Copies of this chain bind each other. A is one copy, B any other.
C-alpha cells in the first residue's frame, strides 16, 4: 500500500465533535479545499458535480416558467450600488471593493457584486417600456462575494460562493406574489427530492427580511450540528426598487405604472447542509440522485483468479453503466479493505464486491453506503436491482433525515421550555410577537437563538409571545444559525 495515501480515514466521530468531523470529511472526501484567502474555497470535482446536478434540475424547471438566463457584470460602481438606501445599508459592511486597475487608481470604487439587484435593475429601467415587455424573467448563474468577518465554514459561510439569482418583473402584484411561492416550491424540491434534506417553508420576520424587500420567504433547515441553515430565499421586492431605479411601464390604457419585482436565489451552501445531514463516522453519504458516483465495483483479487475477475467486473460495469454511474476499482497495490474505506469515505452509494466465490455462484455482494446492509444479488439481476435500490436509498435517507429533524424539534409553550430547547440545540416552535426588540432580547438571553422563519401552515398563534408575553402575531421557528 503506498505510504503517502495511508491516512485516509476521519479521525473523529461525528457525535464527538461535528465541526472537526465536518472539516475533515469535506477535505478527505475531496469535496473542497481551502485556498490562501480565508473564506474562499476550492470546489473540487466531487462537489462541483453535485452543484451541476442541482443546476441542471433547477435550470430546466425555471425555463418551464419562462425564465431566461443572462449574465450581468461582476463589478458595480459605488454610486449605482448606493441607489436603494435600505439595500446598501444591508450589504455595504461586507462589500469587497476594487480600487486599482493595473497601476492606476480608479476614479470611483467598484463593488464586487454581493447580489445583483442594482446592476440588473439599472438595465431593466432601460429595457422596460410597455406592458408588452412584461413579465421580464431573468436568471444568472454566477459567483458573488460577501466579505464576512465571522469564522468561515466551508460551503456554509464563506466570502465567495456560487449561486443563481433570479430577478423578475411583473405588471401585476398577484402574478409577482404567486411566483415567489412557485420558486420556493422548486427550492423545496431541490432540497427534499435531490439532497434528501427536509426543510421548513415560511416567511421571514421583518427584522430578518432581505435588505430592500417588501417581504422574504425562505426554506430553512436544522443541521445535526445544532445550527440552522437558511437554505434558499425568494423575495417579493414590491415597488421599492422600481421607484429607486426608475423602472416604469405604460399599461394597456397608456398610463405610466410601476411594476412589481421579485428576486430569489440558492447557492453552493446547499452542499454543506447535505454533508452535515447524511455523513457518518466513515465519511460522506451522498443521496443517489446527486451522487457523483453511484456504484463502484471492487474485484477481490487473488493471483490465480485476478484476470478473470477483473474481466468480469468490467463486463458487469458495462451493463450497469446503462442505469447508473459506475466505476471499476481494479487498482493494484491496494487491499480490498483499503478500497472499501476509500469509497465509503467518498460516499459512493453502492459497492459491488466481486470475488472468486461470488463468481462461482454467478452473483455479487452489494453493500449500501447508508445502512451497510449486504445483499447477494445474481449478476444478471444487477441492472434491474441497482436503480431500484438507489431509489430506495434516496427515500430511506430522506425519511431518516425527516425523523431526525422531527426528533430534534420542540414546541415550546413556556419560556422555560424554550430555554431548555435552546440549551439542547433543538429547533424550537413558539408563538411570538414578531417585534425587533423581542428578537434582540431572545438572542441575548439564549446566546444567539433567532427566529428563522414564520412557518407556513402554522399561522394561528397561541395567545401570548413566548418571551415578552405581549400578544403573539405568529408562530416562529427558532434556533442558532450559520
Q: Which residues of chain B are within 8 angstroms of A471 by Cβ–Cβ distance?
A: none
Q: Is the CB of B130 within 8 A of A80?
A: no
For this chain, the copies found in one complex come to 2
Pick the contact of A37 from B73, B97, B138 — CB < 8 Å? B73
Q: Which residues of chain B are within 8 angstroms of A104 by Cβ–Cβ distance?
A: 149
Q: How far does the Cβ of A429 sit from chain B's closest Cβ, in whole Å? A: 35
Whether a CB of chain B sits under 8 angstroms from the CB of A446 is no
Within 8 A of B (CB), among A231-281: 250
Q: How far does the Cβ of A362 sit from chain B's closest Cβ, in whole Å? A: 32
Q: Which residues of chain B are within 8 angstroms of A52 by Cβ–Cβ distance?
A: 69
Whether a CB of chain B sits under 8 angstroms from the CB of A4 is yes
Interface centre among A73, A76, A98 (most CB of B within 10 A): A73
Whether a CB of chain B sits under 8 angstroms from the CB of A49 is yes
Residues A48 and B36 in contact in the complex (CB < 8 Å), given A96-B100, A99-B97, A149-B102: no
Q: Is the CB of A102 within 8 A of B92?
A: yes
- Assembled-state Cα–Cα distance A393/B10 (Å): 59
Interface string of A42-60 (1 = CB under 8 A from B): 1111001101100000000
Q: Is the CB of A37 within 8 A of B77?
A: yes
Whether a CB of chain B sits under 8 angstroms from the CB of A395 is no
Residues A36 and B95 in contact in the complex (CB < 8 Å), given A45-B70, A71-B43, A132-B2: no
Q: Is the CB of B33 within 8 A of A123?
A: yes
Whether a CB of chain B sits under 8 angstroms from the CB of A197 is no
Interface centre among A45, A70, A71, A126 (most CB of B within 10 A): A71
Q: Is the CB of A44 within 8 A of B70?
A: yes
Q: Is the CB of A162 within 8 A of B97?
A: no
Q: Is the CB of B100 within 8 A of A99?
A: yes
Among A140-148, A401-409, A412-420, the stretch in contact with B: A140-148
A residues within 8 Å of B by Cβ?
2, 4-5, 33, 35-37, 40-45, 48-49, 51-52, 68-77, 80, 92-104, 109-110, 112, 119, 122-123, 126-127, 129-130, 132, 138, 142-143, 145, 147, 149, 159-160, 162, 250, 331
